[in-house]
Structure 1
Amino acid sequence: MFNHSDQQELFLPLVEGVHETPPWGAFMRNLVARTYARRAFLIITLASAMPTQEPTVIHVSAPRAVKEPPLDFRRLDGLGLHPYGQLRPGRVYAIDEVLDFDNAERLAFQRAALAEMGIRYGRWLRVTAGGAADAWLLLVREREDFSSSAVSTLAAIGPHLTAALRTLAALTQQRLQTAMAQSALARLGVGQLAFDAAGRVMAADPVAEELLPYSNAPEARAGRRLQLLPAVSSALEQACAAIAEGRSEGGTLLLLDPSRNLHLLLRKSDLNLPEPRAVPAVIGTLRIARREDERAGALVLRGIHGLSDREAALAEKVSRGETITDAGRTLRLTDETARNYSKRIYAKTGTQGQADLVRDILSGLTPLA
């Protein structure tokens, strides 16, 4: 039977801990205190991680051991203990259960190394998130073994830690999807904001966070306000209200900052979000001038259209607004050679001139290189 202390010190930190970086620091500290462990670590490995990627390791020490070095999980891994992956998920193992009693020499080596690391007593717990992630929790003591109460606490935590690991694995997947989308938009210089019907910012991506100022004044409701000139702020609120109420289909353009020629395009939100959800009324989009590295863009053009190095470099420069002859001179080509190159570029890309070429480049993968 779980009591109020268990809920406050262990289970609630497990739920909230998926949002910590790294996760579950508070949970680990509370677990060490509850079990009277001296030191502990939690190893988290995602199934999708590259083989060369180091696992996430959270080290925690009791106050009496805070000056001691953290547990060296790599050294433990090299002792030839019972392979972590073969530990039955959810079962609590004592140190003796992972030692090699079939090889006296190795057993002596293992015991000596553990003693040198200050590990005389320990408990292992493995949890797994259905093939998406694995975690291994180790608690150690030096002078006396863990009490039956401490072992029971660790065993009781197993199912809850498993559920939390599944949540963390799913959250990690969503974070990856979000990061990919934000990275693509950032490469194009695009920033986006979600507004409610009153013009409050519900969410903003990194580009929008960087480009726009936000008011520090507290709001009665959730959300933030953009810090704008009074007339612009009023226009934003009126536009969001009109779009939310259906009096405008969107496409409203606001000049946020004349000094930077920074405009914000507002449209009705069409996001399809799962329940429970807080659907924004309006999506705001802004864009700054940002292009890919020239060499990276030329490589993409060469790969897609079979252009030569010089042809790809010339096409890349033309897409940035340079004339054929100016781009050719930058590349140390004569005007005649540049014009001959341009004809070959048009033929290979299937375009009908400079304007068509620029359109084709800017609407393709090149700006995302």
Structure 2
Amino acid sequence: MAAMVLSRIDQDELLGALYALDDIQPFAAFLERLRRRTHAREAVLLTRSVTSGWKSHVSRISNATALPPVPRGLLQTLRSGRLYDFEELGEGGSGRIIRASNHRNDVWIGIRGGASDCFGAPDGALLSALSSHAAIAVSNMARLRDSQIELAAANAALDRAGVGWAVLDEYGEAVTGQNHDVSSRQRAALVNGVNDGARVAVAGQAIAIPFAAGGRGAALALFREPVQSIDRAAAFAAAYGLTGAESRMAIALAEGASIVEAAARLNLTEQTARHYSKRLYAATGARGQAELVRLVWTSVAALA
């Protein structure tokens, strides 16, 4: 079949919806427009990837009974780039389907109807013209979701460490990131410092470093936020074979408490607290409180 050039209307109506990257209902608007365009009972987009497995997106006539799904084993036998007729495949009803593959995904796009429905050559040509676009759109959606996962993971890790961030443009305006009480004058000072060649610029309680990914003159601002700890004591106990009480003593000392202050915080006698501290030094190999503090904040406990 000769390649079809999409009309201006199809480009606006179909490709615009296909590349919209809707997180809530991906490809829903595109499939609905494709179904209406071809007068199909169903328009389908099926995808398969190593990371997310199979996904199915369907648009069908309101209140219509769903057609039986196309067997996945059959889909995998279809040759990429060739248009197939459902009668040719031995599936009930009428319709057309085509497969497009790339290094990230396999994509099948099709239109389906009942036995009395008829799809002509223009419908098949339209699917052929759309198939490569569908593969690109699915890959873009996968990349977007990968980026969203990476950003969420990075933010969760920074929350554990009590670090906030914001990307500042060349004028000191926050492009993206977290809200923080840094004045416009301080943001400008941070960006100016970075653009003047400072490896680390400081203004108030925030620092900034060069950030080429943010664009010309951009800077990455970092500042302290409340630490979102899960259970540092449990992590330190597991790392060094300590009891929960001993580990809680270590965390209290690492946070700046004296032995007397730690005993009061943990409802211990001073004698018990001193016994725990000796156990801590023996178990960790620390030769004093300063080294114990260093061990706490360089161990897995700092990540918990």
| TM-score in terms of structure 1 length | 0.68
Q: Report how many residues are paired.
A: 299
* Contact map agreement 1:133 1:165 (CA 8 A) in 2: yes
Q: Report the CA distance between 1:147 and its aligned residue.
A: 1.9
Pairwise mapping of residues 176-215 of structure 1 onto structure 2 (< 5 A)?
Answer: 176-204=149-177, 208-209=178-179, 211=180
Query: Could you tell me which residue of structure 2 aligns to residue 76 of structure 1?
Result: 69
Amino acid in the other structure paired with 1:76? P
The question of whether the paired residues in 2 share the 8 Å contact of 1:81 and 1:99 is answered with no
Identity %: 26
Task: Report the counterpart of residue 236 of structure 1 in structure 2.
Answer: 187
CA–CA distance in structure 2, aligned partners of residues 98 and 331 of structure 1 = 73
Shift of the 89–361 alpha-carbon distance from structure 1 to 2, 3 Å rule, reads farther
Task: Specify the SS of the correspondent of 1:17.
Answer: coil
Q: Deviations over 1:162-202 (max 9, x none)?
A: 23333333343333333322221122232211112212222
Superposed displacement of residue 323, structure 1: 4.7
Question: Displacement, 1:149?
Answer: 0.9
Are residue 266 (structure 1) and residue 207 (structure 2) matched? yes
In the alignment, which residue of structure 2 is the partner of 1:361? 296
Q: Which consecutive residues of structure 2, in runs of 5 or more, have no partner in the other structure? A: none
Encode CA deviations 1:127-162: one digit per residue, 9 max, x unaligned: 3332x3333334222341222211111122122222
Aligned 8 A contact 1:37 1:141 in 2: yes
C-alpha distance in 2 between matches for 1:366 and 1:323: 20
Pair 121,313 (structure 1): closer, same or farther in 2 beyond 3 Å? farther
Cα distance in 1 between the residues matched to 2:273 and 2:51: 48
Counterparts of 2:176 and 2:282, CA distance in 1: 45
Shift of 1:324: 4.3
- Find 2:236's aligned residue among 283, 295, 301: 301
CA 280–193 in structure 1, closer or farther in 2 if over 3 Å, else same: farther
Residue 31 of structure 1 is matched in structure 2 by 34
Distance 2:186 2:212 in 1: 27
What corresponds to 1:140 in structure 2? 112
Contact 2:239/2:300 (CA < 8 Å) preserved in 1? no
Q: Is the 8 A contact 1:190 1:285 kept in 2?
A: yes
* From 10, 15, 20, the counterpart of 1:11: 15
Equivalent in 126, 137, 160 of residue 133 of structure 2: 160
State how far apart, in whole Å, the 2-side matches of 1:98 and 1:332 are.
75
Q: Does 1:351 align with 2:302?
A: no
Q: Which of 246, 251, 258 is residue 196 of structure 2 equivalent to?
A: 246
Paired AA for residue 236 in structure 1: R
- The residue type paired with residue 24 of structure 1 is F
CA RMSD of aligned residues (A): 3.3
Letter in 2 for 1:31: L
Q: Tell me how far 1:328 sits from its aligned partner.
A: 5.6
Q: Deviations over 1:33-57 (max 9, x none)?
A: 22222223323343123x7xxx544
- Paired residue for 1:60? 59
Structure 1 counterpart of 2:124, from 132, 140, 151: 151
Structure 2 residue aligned with 1:342, among 257, 269, 277?
277
Separation in structure 1 between the aligned mates of residue 280 and residue 244 of structure 2, nearest angstrom: 11
User: Which ranges in structure 1 are unaligned for 5 or more consecutive residues?
Assistant: 101-110, 112-119, 213-227, 255-262
Q: Distance in 2 between matches of 1:83 and 1:315?
A: 61
Alpha-carbon separation, structure 2, partners of 1:43 and 1:150: 18
Counterparts of 1:333 and 1:308, CA distance in 2:
15
